[in-house]
Amino acid sequence: MFLFLLISIFIILLCVQHFILRKHSKDEGNKDVRSKPFSSMPGPPSYPIIGTLPLYLYYKKYSLDRLHWNGRSKVHHWTVFYKEGKYPSRRSHTALAYYRSSRPQKYSTTGLLPTNGAEWRRVRTLLQKPANKASISGLISSLNLVAEEFVEYMDRHFECVNKDDFLDHLNRVFLEMTGVVTFDARLNSLQNPLQPSSIPYRLIKAAEETNDKILETDNNLPTWRIWETKPFKMIRESQEYIEKISNQLIQDKKSQHMQEDCPRTLLDHWLSSTGLNDKDIMTGAAEFLLAGIHTSSYTFSFLLYHLANNIQAQERLRNECLELKSEFGEISREHLHRAVYAKACLKESLRLNPISVGVGRILPEDTVICRFEEYFEQANSFIPERWIEGEVMHKEVDPFISLPFGYGIRQCIGKNIAEISLQVLLMNMVSRFSWSWAGTKDLDTVSLLINKPDQPIRLKRSKMQLT
């Protein structure tokens, strides 16, 4: 009895000591000092009373005679990207995955964005083959035609475009480009006004609503698994419309006779692939419609904003565009290859305003690697010259510092399409107009799955006199 009482008193004293030390550490941590409390020190987990004993006695991770392997570093350095494995896994778009997995009559997978493992690898490998740079380069003339039509559209509606949020017009042109590259179809997005009942208007709205609600459903309680919440309903209705239009465009393409001398779109390649079934093709088409509009329109908005606030960079870009146009005429593969400053402008804009947080990692508060002075001199300034060899501002940096499209086998499948589309539109627009910022304040971002401008895009345009 006495022994039991003694052990009980000992345990109580240990508990009291533990809570006193814990409170002291918390108080110390709340003080405005540089030192951190002991509780923040990295190491094996410690439990009340028993401390780290389970690691020695039960799990045998450590022993009293071997607390450390001699000759090895006590600090382990971990990399993030270099070794990602055969099936890099991600957890996102959970509501979209739930929606698709509950409809096996339409979908064989949950799509490229939420699917993981071997099934993701199979679909990704087959869908991405025609999205390589060589294949997309064959569609440059089609993209250039859309860009030229957009310039004419801005000419016809000069006052209207100047007054409106320019982002609305950019959504239209990038939907049209997505239709050309994916389906070889013109969606008539450049009509003005665009009726709310029209296919382009409803596609843009459906893609935006899906993207906006993915973040909300991913990061709140998944009550949408039990009953249909409002965000999930918006995703469902938006996806049903995108599916409907995707299927229509696929059936239209199937009914056409493919001419040998025509450039092959993504859908042409997918339909001729023996490894893809109809469900895979519909899923791929729907995802390109979902992802191809706002990622590009937001990126282009930030790019125009930086150029509008940096007249010297804008003038240098315009001179490059006009010089290449006089040498090559219509924009071509060689044209884009020689457009060094245009590519540098895009890369610098993506450094300052990356479109996605999808490759984000947990970092200390207020740390922004792409704007860190250790890596980029005048890090908050738009200086395209920093990416051009031979320029005074050029400095070799680790390629992993800026990864706007991700890295490895799970990087953005539309990377080449996006880069070529953005460059083609940029070169057409800068050649014809000069731009200045007319917004009320500096442009910043809000993160709704992808980084969106936090205010309307107000730009003042003036026509250039072409000689």
* Tens-digit pLDDT profile for residues 280-323: 999 999 999 999 999 999 999 999 999 999 999 999 999 999 99
Q: 130 CB contacts (<8 Å, ≥6 apart)?
A: 264, 265, 266, 268, 269, 270
Name residue 419's beta-bridge partners. none
**pLDDT number for residue 47:** 74
Is the pLDDT at 359 greater than 60, yes or no? no
Give 191-244 pLDDT, tens digit per residue.
888 999 999 999 999 999 999 999 889 888 899 999 999 999 999 999 999 999
**pLDDT number for residue 329:** 80
Domain presence at residue 100: no
Instruction: Tell me the CATH number at 164.
Output: 1.10.630.10
* Triad 75, 77, 80: Cα angle to 5°: 155
Give 344-358 pLDDT, tens digit per residue.
999 999 999 998 765
**pLDDT number for residue 54:** 74
The residue-averaged pLDDT of 236-262 equals: 87
Is the pLDDT at 380 greater than 70, yes or no? yes
Model confidence at 24, pLDDT cuts 50, 70, 90, reads very low
Domain presence at residue 101: no
pTM: 0.80
Domain presence at residue 102: no
**pLDDT number for residue 60:** 59
The residue-averaged pLDDT of 362-381 equals: 65
Model confidence at 29, pLDDT cuts 50, 70, 90, reads very low
Question: Is the distance from CB of 190 to CB of 219 less than 8 angstroms?
Answer: no
Backbone angles phi, psi at 52, to 5 degrees: -100, 15
Model confidence at 266, pLDDT cuts 50, 70, 90, reads very high
Domain presence at residue 24: no
Total domains, the chain: 1
In 3D space, the residue among 289, 297, 70, 266 whose CA is nearest the CA of residue 165 turns out to be: 297
**pLDDT number for residue 326:** 83
Give 384-441 pLDDT, tens digit per residue.
999 999 998 888 888 778 888 887 888 889 999 999 999 999 999 999 999 999 988 8
**pLDDT number for residue 363:** 42
Is the pLDDT at 51 greater than 60, yes or no? yes
Domain presence at residue 33: no
Name residue 459's beta-bridge partners. 437
Domain presence at residue 51: no
Counting every residue written for the chain, the total comes to 467
Domain presence at residue 413: yes
Domain presence at residue 80: no
Residue 338, domain extent: 109-463
Asked whether residue 160 is marked as a ligand-binding residue, the answer is no
